[in-house]
């Protein structure tokens, strides 16, 4: 088994070769067909999240660790207690919980305080094989391309779950999406599939604004342009009913609060990092709802894949790379040079 792993935080990934794992109990081994490259992989490779003001949240990642939580593959081996068909092509739900707490029992494993997340706590998909602890985390992606199906496990799921939290969304309840990277692009496309709307998009990169328009944005503007911000707010009737921030920086969160209308909802998704100074009286006076959204549940991924298999959920732009380009893909993502989603494969 060949994997590309973090062996030291802040250092390039290293190629490592091990024996191909043999499953026990309910474990399943998949040959990796596609593994998406996510901004979270950058944070894990760095070993921390930036909290702003010079503060960091150190990540409890045991090294070496194989990154990659957007995984689609083919079942090649299964433990004696795993009820799964060899040769089945499946996408992996990576946000695995402890299985014993109240959150896990409620179906919210992705919020578990003792997670077993693939690519973070357990080795992930930047490899030619991956071990999944139970077949219930394997979902059928039908005739979808494996590269696209893999991205649904994080980028697609994150966008889909955040959109649900922004409801109601309609022409009378307009939506603004901040950030048109891989997850933002997914949200733009899903907004039309789920709500039948063409959302407004705030994005500082002109290439990504153009891609947002091609992806179905009603309008796409530069949030640094005061006149464009004013026009977008006016077009939304004085403010947006919901704003989803897929960047999660100080500047993007401040823009979200400036663009949301009274009684509106701000959903913060991105993990770029920073702090937010907020005049607290304005929260009740404007009746604002501010909430976070972290990936999504197994049930939500099942719902998303059902939409995708039926042809309702549209495709996103995929940039394919060989597995040995894992570090180059991370570097391109860090530099902001990826439009859509990079996906590694054999």
pLDDT means over runs of 10, the chain (346 residues): 97 97 98 96 94 88 97 98 98 97 97 97 98 98 96 96 97 97 91 94 96 95 98 97 97 98 98 90 97 98 94 85 97 92 94
- pTM value is 0.93
Q: Check residue 340 and give its pLDDT.
A: 84
Q: Which residues contact 82 (CB under 8 A, 6 or more apart)?
A: 23, 25, 26, 27, 28, 134, 135
Q: How far apart are CA 197 and CA 201, in angstroms?
A: 12
Q: Is 36 exposed, middle or buried (0-12, 13-18, 19+ CB in 10 A)?
A: buried
Angle at 68 between CA 67 and CA 74, to 5 degrees: 125
Q: Check residue 339 and give its pLDDT.
A: 85
Quick one: which of 125, 58, 49, 39 has its CA closest to 334? Answer: 39
Quick one: which of 69, 38, 37, 72 has its CA closest to 144? Answer: 72
Q: Is 238 exposed, middle or buried (0-12, 13-18, 19+ CB in 10 A)?
A: exposed
Quick one: which of 178, 141, 195 has its CA closest to 267? Answer: 178
Q: Is 332 exposed, middle or buried (0-12, 13-18, 19+ CB in 10 A)?
A: middle
Q: How far is CA 284 from the centre of its chain?
A: 30
Distance of CA 237 to CAs 77, 172, 260, Å?
A: 56, 9, 11
Q: How far apart are CA 277 and CA 235, in angstroms?
A: 27
Q: Check residue 251 and give its pLDDT.
A: 97
Are 154 and 41 in contact, with CB atoms under 8 Å apart?
Answer: no
Q: How far is CA 49 from the centre of its chain?
A: 16
Q: Check residue 175 and give its pLDDT.
A: 98
Q: Is the CA virtual torsion 18, 23, 24, 28 positive or negative?
A: positive
Neighbours of 53 (CB within 10 A): 8
Look-up of token digits 């010079």: 54
Q: Check residue 138 and give its pLDDT.
A: 98
Homologous superfamily of 2-155+296-345 in CATH?
Answer: Medium-chain alcohol dehydrogenases, catalytic domain (3.90.180.10)
Q: Check residue 58 and give its pLDDT.
A: 94
> In which residue ranges of the chain is CATH 3.40.50.720 found?
157-292
Q: Which residues contact 2 (CB under 8 A, 6 or more apart)?
A: 15, 16, 17, 127, 128, 323
> In which residue ranges of the chain is CATH 3.90.180.10 found?
2-155+296-345
Quick one: which of 120, 141, 135, 137 has its CA closest to 28? Answer: 135
What does residue 271 show for φ and ψ, rounded to 5 degrees?
-120, 25
Q: Report the top-level CATH class of 157-292.
A: alpha beta
Q: Which residues contact 344 (CB under 8 A, 6 or more apart)?
A: 34, 35, 36, 37, 68, 125, 126, 321, 322, 323, 325, 326, 329
Distance of CA 307 to CAs 150, 152, 156, 199, Å?
A: 15, 11, 11, 20
Q: Is 101 helix (H, G, I), strand (E, B) or coil?
A: coil
């Amino acid at each position: 088994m060949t994997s590309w792993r973090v062996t030291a935080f802040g250092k390039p990934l290293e190629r490592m070769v091990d024996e191909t794992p043999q499953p026990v109990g309910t474990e399943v081994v998949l040959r990796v067909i596609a593994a998406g490259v996510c901004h979270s992989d950058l944070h894990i490779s760095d070993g921390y999240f930036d909290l702003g003001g010079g503060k960091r949240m150190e990540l409890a990642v045991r090294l070496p660790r194989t990154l990659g939580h957007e995984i689609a593959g083919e079942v090649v081996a299964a433990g004696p207690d795993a009820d799964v068909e060899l040769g089945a092509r499946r996408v992996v739900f990576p946000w695995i919980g402890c299985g014993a707490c109240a959150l896990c029992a409620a179906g919210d494993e992705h919020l578990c305080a003792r997670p077993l997340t693939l690519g973070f706590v357990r080795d992930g998909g930047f490899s030619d094989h991956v071990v999944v602890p139970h077949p219930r985390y394997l979902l059928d992606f039908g005739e979808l391309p494996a590269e696209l199906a893999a991205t649904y496990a994080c980028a697609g799921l994150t966008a889909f779950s955040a959109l649900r939290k922004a409801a109601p969304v309609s022409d009378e309840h307009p939506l603004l999406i901040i950030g048109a990277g891989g997850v933002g692009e997914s949200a733009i496309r899903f907004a039309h599939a789920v709500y039948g709307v063409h959302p407004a998009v705030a994005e500082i990169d002109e290439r990504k604004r153009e891609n947002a328009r091609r992806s179905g944005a009603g309008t796409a503007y530069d949030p640094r342009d005061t006149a464009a911000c004013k026009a977008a707010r006016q077009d939304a009737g004085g403010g947006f009913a919901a704003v989803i921030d897929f960047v999660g920086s100080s500047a993007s969160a401040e823009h979200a609060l400036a663009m949301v209308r009274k009684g509106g909802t701000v959903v913060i998704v991105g993990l770029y990092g920073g702090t937010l100074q907020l005049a607290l009286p304005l929260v009740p006076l404007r009746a604002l709802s501010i909430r976070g959204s972290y990936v999504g549940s197994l049930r939500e991924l099942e719902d998303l894949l059902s939409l995708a298999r039926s042809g309702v959920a549209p495709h996103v732009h995929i940039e394919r790379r060989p597995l040995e380009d894992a570090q180059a893909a991370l570097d391109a993502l860090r530099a902001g040079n990826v439009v859509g989603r990079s996906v590694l494969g054999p």
